[in-house]
Amino acid sequence: MAATAPTVAGTTATPVPPARRRRPKVGAYGLLVPASIIIGIALGYPLVRQFVISFQEFGLKQQFGAAPEWVGLQNYKDLLTDSYVWTVIARSVAFCLVNAVVTMAIGMSLAVLMQRVGRSARITLQVSLLLAWGTPVLASMTVWQWLFDTQNGLINWTLSNVLGIESMAQHSWIIEPLSFFFVATVIVVWMSVPFVAFSVYAGLLQVPTETMEAAQLDGASARQRFWGITIPMIRPVLSIVLLLQVIWDLKVFTQIYVLQRAGAPTRDTNLLGTLIYSYSKEFGLAGALATIMLVLTLALTGFYIRQMLKEDEL
Amino acid sequence: MSAVAAPTTLGVPADRPTRVAATRATDSGRSQTSTSRRVLGALAIVVAIAWVFPIYWMINSAFQPLNKLQAEDPTWLPLGGTVANFRQVIDDGTFWQAMRTSLAVVVLVLFAALIFAFLAALAVSRFRFKGRKSFILAILVVQMIPAEGLFISQYQVLDGWGLVNKVLGLALVYTAAILPFTIWMLRGFVAGVPIELEEAGMVDGLSRVGAFFRITFPLLAPGLVAAGVFGFLQAWNEYTLALVVMTDPEQRTLPLWLQSLVESNRATDWGVVMAGSAVIAIPVIAFFLLVQGRMTSGLVSGAVKG
């Protein structure tokens, strides 16, 4: 038995027909209980609660112990009539889409690159991406802040001393909103590309060579094979990865928060995550904005999730 | 065979009159392929260097004394560097305090998440029951919830139970956050072990439980390791919830400690900050390199099969 073990472990990547399921049903529910309880109390309940408090007022009185007042849709009305909130929503969606698209484009290109190059080049690239992937987000944030540092940052030094752009010598990257978001995008993309590249590469490896050879014999060009066979075959992986990117980039918090703490003007650089955080004393508004963010996430991804569910048999 | 197949690749019909031309095209095509392979290889190396550079720069700067960091021109190599920055980090009591908190949180999270996720993965991939599909759908949807929008009500819930500034409180929200993905991932691994193996074991005289633990469980070990590493990384690196839940400086996790180090050293000593970052990052990176292959295959297999 020990001898067969490794071979079976090696086949986990090949599809296996659904296991026969014929044991007592109560047992199955029992197995789900612990996970459901944890998710229920630490995610489900806060979610319901957030929804409830979004209809309540938490002011100064409540901080001193008074019961929250029901205010109906007032919080939503306050938020949605505030043009600043709309600015932040638009900014967040734009940031999310730009980051998701750039990350996907670079990640997919690198996955294809991995497939096309020799072994040593591929391993070099993979190790490098892994190092970036494995770096804790806060450590990445400190390095990038140091690279973009106004006084002694390497990027300013390169721009002014190597490329001769004198005006960049003492340039502050995070004061201007546009350049703030440029820096944030560089960091987010740098951190997210490895996941996309490896997932897509793993998907590419699952495309059967027989199919490609058959297409080749039938006269399909490399371009035709890529768009006509490879892409459709790895669609499930692409869908999941893109979906996760959109979700992650819409709720981005740490990178924005840390850059803001580095001295950027908060109001001009807030995204939804940091705006909610700034309402941490007004629970009602925070709850309402968080609910709006959830609806926005579903709006951006809902169509996609439906497509995925239709194709995936679960 | 490949000589015949090659012309078709180039889109040249392989009929008789063009045979000679086609062969010539093949030869130049061959050398073109190897040239383009070399160009792509060089491109891959350039991308690799660019991508890893920030990490190199972190380590390089961590070994530089302050006067070198603030010099007119950067110092590219850590030759003749100093370990003073690292010493300053290691000698800092708050670093070890944060280390203890982080370790405690990670251990609790891994213990709870692995066991509970394993049980749930077993249920959804080995049993067919009413609500199975809804459960899988639910764990998929739960991952869409913007946790960054939820932290205020999570704080309130923990506050109500006196779990704010407690390792247990942070471990609870972390476990809930990583459970869905862990279940998703393990489900792929469990489904990859054919139940026939277990049945064969039972034919050979093992009990159902015995067959499970002696046959299926060892085969799942790689999956559990991968899930464990995923959980470790999440709990070790997480910042947002820690920021909300651990407001007491005494209860900081390592990422919070690093941020406070940045804020007290900004524009003064980046060397110490880089040393702190490196100390937190290097064990994680090493760990990650060891097991990542299984993580991606786990994600993909979780995604493509039931």
Model pLDDT, residue A313: 54
Residue of A4, A32, A139 lying closest to B123 (CB–CB): A32
Please give the structure tokens belonging to residue A270: 């807030």
- Asked if CATH classification 1.10.3720.10 holds for the domain at B85-304, the reply, yes or no, is yes
Please give the structure tokens belonging to residue B23: 């062969």
Q: Which of A124, A306, A152, A210 is nearest to B68 (CA)?
A: A152
Residue of B52, B112, B129 lying closest to A132 (CB–CB): B52
Q: Where are the domains of chain A?
A: 72-309
DSSP, collapsed to helix, strand or coil, labels residue A56 as: strand
Residue of A258, A293, A313 lying closest to B306 (CB–CB): A313
Inter-residue contact A272 to A250 (CB < 8 Å):
yes
Residue of A130, A217, A301 lying closest to B292 (CB–CB): A130
Model pLDDT, residue B18: 38
Residue of A38, A133, A251 lying closest to B112 (CB–CB): A38
Instruction: Name the minimum distance, in Å, from the CA of B226 to any CA of chain A.
Output: 13
Per-10-residue mean pLDDT of chain A, 314 residues long, equals 34 44 66 90 88 83 73 89 94 95 96 89 90 89 91 87 79 89 95 91 84 86 86 84 87 91 90 89 87 86 75 58
ipTM reported for the complex, 2 dp: 0.83
Model pLDDT, residue A85: 94
Inter-residue contact A252 to A188 (CB < 8 Å):
yes
Per-10-residue mean pLDDT of chain B, 306 residues long, equals 32 37 43 77 94 93 84 80 86 90 94 92 85 82 72 87 92 92 84 80 84 82 81 88 91 92 80 91 79 56 43
Q: Which residue is listed with tokens 């999730």?
A: A305
pTM: 0.81
Instruction: Name the minimum distance, in Å, from the CA of A115 to any CA of chain B.
Output: 10
- Cβ pair A12:B301 closer than 8 A: yes
- Cβ pair B149:A23 closer than 8 A: no
Q: Which of B201, B54, B194, B22 is nearest to B125 (CA)?
A: B194
Class in CATH terms, A72-309: mainly alpha
Instruction: Name the minimum distance, in Å, from the CA of B257 to any CA of chain A.
Output: 10
Cα angle value B100/B102/B106 (rounded, 5°) = 120
Residue of B125, B189, B237 lying closest to A137 (CB–CB): B237
What is the rounded distance in angstroms from the CA atom of residue A94 to the CA atom of residue B125? 39
Instruction: Name the minimum distance, in Å, from the CA of A113 to any CA of chain B.
Output: 7
- Cβ pair A305:B239 closer than 8 A: no
What is the rounded distance in angstroms from the CA atom of residue A284 to the CA atom of residue B152? 10
- Cβ pair A138:B299 closer than 8 A: no
DSSP, collapsed to helix, strand or coil, labels residue A69 as: strand
Inter-residue contact A103 to A253 (CB < 8 Å):
no
Q: Which of A143, A49, A291, A214 is nearest to B274 (CA)?
A: A143
Measured between alpha carbons, how far is residue B175 from residues A41, B116, B211 in Å? 11, 10, 29
- Cβ pair B41:A117 closer than 8 A: yes
- Cβ pair A152:B70 closer than 8 A: yes
What is the rounded distance in angstroms from the CA atom of residue A298 to the CA atom of residue A305? 9
Q: Which residue is listed with tokens 């990027």?
A: A155
Instruction: Name the minimum distance, in Å, from the CA of B78 to any CA of chain A.
Output: 15
The size of the A-B interface in CB pairs under 8 A is 361
Q: Best of B70, B72, B153 to disrupt the A interface by mutation (most A CBs within 10 Å)?
A: B153
Q: Where are the domains of chain B?
A: 2-51, 85-304
Instruction: Name the minimum distance, in Å, from the CA of B8 to any CA of chain A.
Output: 6
Contacts of A291 in chain B (CB under 8 A): 149
- Cβ pair B116:A35 closer than 8 A: yes
Q: Which of A308, A303, A299 is nearest to A235 (CA)?
A: A308
Model pLDDT, residue A257: 93
- Cβ pair B47:A117 closer than 8 A: no
Query: Using one digit for the tens of pLDDT, what is the confidence trace for B127-163?
Result: 888 888 888 888 877 777 766 668 888 888 898 899 9
Please give the structure tokens belonging to residue A153: 């940052």
- Cβ pair B197:A42 closer than 8 A: no
Instruction: Name the minimum distance, in Å, from the CA of B246 to any CA of chain A.
Output: 15
- Cβ pair A5:B276 closer than 8 A: no
Q: Please name the residue ranges forming H helices in A135-250.
A: 137-147, 154-157, 177-205, 209-217, 222-225, 231-233, 235-250
Stated as kind and residue range, the H or E segment containing B257 is: helix B254-265
